[in-house]
Amino acid sequence: MEQLLTESKTDESGCTNTQEQHGKYLLVNQLNINAHSLVFNSEIDAYDEKTGSFVEIKTMKHVSTPKEKDRFKRFRLLRWWAQSQLGGVQEILCGFRDDEGLVTRMESFQTRSIPNPALPWNQTVLFHFLDKLLTWIKKQVAVTGEFSINRVVHIFERSDEKTINHNTTTDPRYQFLPEWYLTR
């Protein structure tokens, strides 16, 4: 669906220009949350020239039962909102698929309008959690106090709904910063 919505050129046979099919665009973001400053990238699916905004494109199976609708609001919409809010994406365009996998309905969600009192989560609580998590991560990293000498990598993993584990390793498989960056 992403390809069909974002393609811009076709040849004489009606085929999409293959050079543009797999384009990935990244947006560099800076986010300040209380005492924390983050720089990270977000993959951008599309840019709407008419509105001047970035668009996230999603597909999912139709939600029809009350249980499916609740799960959509509780989990999927939360993930979409968090990804788009942090990434600076203003619109989420979702194609809803039938049982055969065909998109039969499209719906647009404005990121800023997603949080509302009817949802089972609150954006203020989520940002507070992120602030607390970043504070905890800084403390965990500060305890070891080593990185550049021993190339210590900190691994944070969620083991269940409420537990985040922290481990360190010097295993080169986990190291991703290039040598030139570390020796500067």
Below-50 pLDDT ranges, the chain? 17-21
- Is the Cα torsion angle 43, 45, 49, 53 positive or negative in sign? negative
* Percentages (nearest 5) of helix, strand, coil residues in the chain: 35, 30, 35
pLDDT at site 142: 78
pLDDT at site 144: 64
What's the pTM? 0.75
pLDDT at site 19: 43
